[in-house]
């Protein structure tokens, strides 16, 4: 048995069924072993970074280990962004990398990089294997640490080691023997600490909850606690699918991409309960001293990180909330009624914003029309860009749906590989990816070829890639205007107009192109009833600002009109942007 054959056996012992990988001579020994074995499904993307994003998506949408593979040198460096995505969103991912022969290591050989060093920052564990007997503990530790620490781990295998005869570690000095297997513990706080938390929560009258990705899988417990406390619940972007948006106390997302009710909730509460969230923008949380706070997180490094909490509970979201529930007193409903009122207004505001006419199509409406028509078990992914705003606000997630994006890293280029990862993980579910044209051109377009390559494998054919063609790196154009007060800089912001829907047709997918808002509803219906993956290309208006949540509809409307009128006058843009920024800042001060 070659060392590479042992490697594949051990991956199977760990339950690995699929690898997203790209070949190269540095890893051909392992690829040969995968070929001989035939028991692991090898999925080939167009680029190693995409393999890593697919592995992250696999982890996000299944809860299991995601696995990617690349050759050494450039294949390994291509993986790095995807592995950072795993690290920042706390996903267990194993990366398998090739390497030049151990006999030339340190010799500036072709494609020879010091990968231990290159991956040192991103990986929870990285180790190059220099002897066959070393492999068992390296692979076991890598997977165990990826799972236990919820992050990426990397195994680097030199070419010659892959081909050597496997030698099991001996029961002798200078060897170590290991085995596969890991069971995730259920972590719960001590009872006395739960009581302290309950005391804080019981003392308050206006409770706000903030939930994140750590609350996915704890929906029932979050709902029970929120009901008992009469609390409103705001969601960090990665926790969007943790609770459906049709509950009357769910205020939607929070932060720059968030909703006004979430802002009101945080500004008006006297007590805050944070569950499984590392939501970064602490300026959206209550002022110092305005709220007494409790936090629950399975990752102790995230406790009291954004807001000083009186009680910091290290524990799993679902189990900890279950234990807390009987200790909580039922509260009155006044605060809850207030929250419900904000939400009624907010949904109307959003509807009005989405239906505001635009040139040609208002991107908010693209997502609100989608939201109405999604299958109950759909999986939604979004790229980074202005569509992440519409994903956060205008997509009303339903119970049973799953949704994610590159959250912590906010990398462009993740939506289509995430969608492909989702489709492999759940081939019986419809998947929708929301993507900007810049992100499409960066790499998502090439991954359409991967979709075409594998679409026959998926029994549920529906995979819609919705492209927002605005010929602009729009999210950043607005950041430049509003945050820096600079006018649009064509040299850095223009994106060439490309007919994505035609490209889709060229490679065997369906393509739909629309530039009339009246066609949106029927276009979504057509895309969601197609017999193959579809690129739904929508010509959208780059002058619809991803407004921060505080701004009123009237202000938003005025702002958009003035932008539309004066789009060529840099000073007007600059002044208007400043005015909006000032209005928002002033309101925050007044709050």
Ligand X SMILES: Cc1ncc(C[n+]2csc(CCOP(=O)(O)OP(=O)(O)O)c2C)c(N)n1
Q: Which residues bind ligand X (CB under 6 A)?
A: 383-387, 410-413, 436-439, 468, 470, 472-476, 495
In the complex, minimum distance from the CB of residue 91 to ligand X, in angstroms, rounded to a whole number: 18
In order of 227, 284, 314, the CA distances from 193 in angstroms are 22, 27, 10
In the complex, minimum distance from the CB of residue 479 to ligand X, in angstroms, rounded to a whole number: 8
In the complex, minimum distance from the CB of residue 547 to Mg ion, in angstroms, rounded to a whole number: 17
Select from ligand X, Mg ion, none the partner in contact with residue 295, using the beta carbon and a kind-dependent cut-off of 5 to 8 Å: none
Contacts of 212 (CB under 8 A, 6+ apart): 235, 236, 238, 239, 242, 274, 275, 276, 277, 278, 279
In order of 451, 463, 544, the CA distances from 423 in angstroms are 9, 8, 32
Is position 437 an interface residue for Mg ion (rule: CB under 5 A)?
A: yes
Check: CB of residue 288 under 8 Å from CB of residue 308.
Answer: yes
| Contacting range for Mg ion; rule: CB under 5 A; set: 331-339, 465-473, 518-526, 569-577 | 465-473
Select from Mg ion, ligand X, none the partner in contact with residue 49, using the beta carbon and a kind-dependent cut-off of 5 to 8 Å: none
The residue of the chain with the least Cβ separation from ligand X equals 436
CA gap 260, 480 in Å, rounded:
23
Closer residue to Mg ion (CB): 221 or 472: 472
In the complex, minimum distance from the CB of residue 46 to Mg ion, in angstroms, rounded to a whole number: 21
Closer residue to ligand X (CB): 263 or 474: 474
In the complex, minimum distance from the CB of residue 439 to ligand X, in angstroms, rounded to a whole number: 4
Closer residue to ligand X (CB): 350 or 467: 467
CA gap 136, 177 in Å, rounded:
7
Closer residue to ligand X (CB): 302 or 476: 476
Closer residue to ligand X (CB): 249 or 468: 468
DSSP secondary-structure letter at 509?
S
The residue of the chain with the least Cβ separation from Mg ion equals 436
CA dihedral 567, 550, 552, 572 (to 10 degrees): -20
Q: Which tokens belong to 528?
A: 């969601």
Is position 363 an interface residue for Mg ion (rule: CB under 5 A)?
A: no
| Contacting range for Mg ion; rule: CB under 5 A; set: 240-248, 345-353, 464-472, 529-537 | 464-472
Is position 480 an interface residue for Mg ion (rule: CB under 5 A)?
A: no
In the complex, minimum distance from the CB of residue 369 to ligand X, in angstroms, rounded to a whole number: 17
Strand order in 510-514's β-sheet?
Answer: 402-405, 379-382, 431-436, 463-469, 534-539, 510-514
Closer residue to ligand X (CB): 208 or 439: 439
Is position 470 an interface residue for Mg ion (rule: CB under 5 A)?
A: yes
First-to-last CA distance in the chain? 69
Select from Mg ion, ligand X, none the partner in contact with residue 241, using the beta carbon and a kind-dependent cut-off of 5 to 8 Å: none
In the complex, minimum distance from the CB of residue 543 to Mg ion, in angstroms, rounded to a whole number: 12
Q: Which tokens belong to 415?
A: 């939506």
Closer residue to Mg ion (CB): 40 or 442: 442
Site string for Mg ion, 413-432 (x = CB under 5 A): --------------------
Q: Which of 120, 61, 115, 52 lies closest to 86, judged by CA? A: 52
Q: Which long-range contacts (CB under 8 A, 24 or more apart) does 501-505 make?
A: 501/467, 501/535, 501/536, 501/537, 503/445, 503/448, 503/535, 504/448, 504/465, 504/533, 504/534, 504/535
CA 470, 472, 476, 481 dihedral sign is negative
Contacts of 344 (CB under 8 A, 6+ apart): none
DSSP secondary-structure letter at 477?
H
Is position 474 an interface residue for Mg ion (rule: CB under 5 A)?
A: yes
Closer residue to ligand X (CB): 34 or 466: 466
Closer residue to Mg ion (CB): 369 or 475: 475
Binding site for Mg ion (CB under 5 A): 436-438, 470, 472, 474
């Amino acid at each position: 048995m070659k060392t590479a054959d042992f490697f594949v056996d051990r991956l199977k012992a760990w339950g690995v069924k699929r690898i997203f990988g790209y070949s190269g001579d540095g890893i051909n020994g392992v690829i040969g072993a995968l070929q001989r074995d035939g028991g692991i499904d090898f999925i080939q993307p167009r680029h190693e970074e995409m393999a890593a994003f697919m592995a992250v998506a696999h982890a996000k949408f299944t809860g299991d280990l995601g696995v990617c593979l690349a050759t050494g040198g450039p294949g390994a460096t291509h993986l790095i962004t995807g592995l950072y995505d795993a690290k920042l969103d706390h996903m267990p991912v194993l990366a398998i990398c090739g390497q030049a022969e151990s006999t030339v290591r340190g010799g500036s050989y072709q494609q020879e990089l010091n990968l231990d060093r290159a991956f040192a920052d991103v990986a929870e564990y990285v180790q190059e294997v220099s002897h066959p007997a070393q492999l068992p503990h390296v692979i076991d530790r890598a997977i165990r640490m990826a799972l236990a620490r919820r992050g990426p781990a990397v195994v680097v295998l030199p070419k010659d080691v892959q081909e050597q005869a496997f030698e099991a570690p001996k029961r002798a000095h200078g060897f170590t023997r290991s085995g596969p297997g890991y069971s995730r513990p259920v972590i719960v706080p001590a009872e006395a600490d739960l009581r302290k938390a309950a005391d804080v929560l019981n003392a308050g009258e206006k409770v706000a909850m903030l939930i994140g990705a750590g609350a996915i899988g704890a929906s029932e417990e979050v709902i029970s606690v929120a009901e008992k406390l009469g609390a409103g619940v705001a969601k960090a972007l990665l926790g969007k699918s943790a609770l459906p948006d049709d509950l009357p106390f769910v205020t939607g997302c929070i932060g720059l991409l968030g909703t006004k009710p979430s802002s009101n909730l945080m500004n008006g509460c006297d007590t805050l309960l944070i569950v499984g969230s590392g939501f970064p923008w602490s300026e959206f949380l209550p002022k110092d001293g305005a709220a007494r706070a409790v936090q629950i997180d399975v990752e102790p490094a995230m406790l009291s990180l954004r807001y000083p909490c009186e009680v910091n509970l290290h524990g799993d979201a679902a189990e900890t909330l279950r234990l807390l529930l009987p200790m909580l007193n039922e509260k009155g409903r006044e605060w809850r009624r207030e929250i419900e009122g904000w939400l009624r207004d907010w949904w109307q505001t959003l509807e009005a914003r989405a239906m505001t006419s635009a040139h040609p199509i208002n991107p908010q409406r693209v997502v609100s029309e989608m939201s109405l028509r999604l299958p109950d078990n759909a999986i939604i992914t979004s790229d980074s860009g202005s569509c992440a705003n519409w994903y956060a606000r205008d997509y009303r997630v339903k119970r049973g749906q799953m949704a994610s994006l590159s959250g912590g890293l906010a990398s462009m280029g993740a939506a289509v590989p995430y969608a492909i990862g989702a489709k492999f993980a759940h081939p019986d579910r419809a998947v929708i990816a929301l993507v900007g044209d810049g992100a499409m051109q960066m790499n998502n377009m090439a991954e359409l070829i991967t979709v075409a390559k594998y679409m026959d494998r998926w029994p549920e054919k529906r995979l819609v890639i919705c492209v927002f063609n605005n010929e602009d790196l729009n999210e950043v154009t607005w950041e430049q205007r509003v945050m820096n007060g600079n006018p649009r800089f064509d040299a850095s912001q223009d994106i060439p107009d490309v007919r994505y829907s035609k490209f889709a047709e060229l490679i065997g997918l369906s393509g739909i192109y629309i530039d009339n808002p009246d066609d949106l509803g029927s276009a979504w219906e057509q895309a969601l009833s197609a017999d193959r993956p579809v690129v739904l290309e929508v010509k959208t208006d780059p002058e619809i600002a991803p407004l921060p949540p505080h701004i009123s509809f009237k202000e938003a409307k005025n702002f958009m009109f003035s932008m539309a009128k004066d789009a060529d006058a840099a000073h007007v843009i600059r002044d208007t942007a400043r005015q909006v920024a000032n209005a928002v800042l002033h309101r925050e001060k007044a709050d």
